[in-house]
Amino acid sequence: MGTMGTAFLMAFALMLVIEGALPFLAPSLWRETFRRITQMSDGQIRFFGLSSMLLGVMLLYILN
């Protein structure tokens, strides 16, 4: 596996660690946040997802 594949797997592993931190450290907060997300409209969820992706791309651009 090349450096690109290794970097992708490392990024994926870091994402899993970050995603798992909140339910591990504060399960009730995570549950309440998830409940609120389920009440959002599709458009609101898409906007949040798009904003997250754009922020990630900007951070990658700045750090690279």
**Per-residue pLDDT reduced to its tens digit, 16-40:** 999 999 999 999 999 999 999 999 9
Domain boundaries, the chain: 3-63
Write down the H helix ranges in the chain. 3-25, 27-38, 42-63
Alpha carbons 12 and 31: distance in angstroms, whole number: 23
What is the per-residue pLDDT across 4-20, written as a single tens digit (0 to 9) for each? 889 889 999 999 999 99
User: DSSP string of 40-51?
Assistant: S-HHHHHHHHHH
Band (pLDDT 50/70/90 cuts) for residue 60 is confident
Kindly state the DSSP code that residue 39 receives in the 8-state scheme. T
pTM for this model (two decimals): 0.69
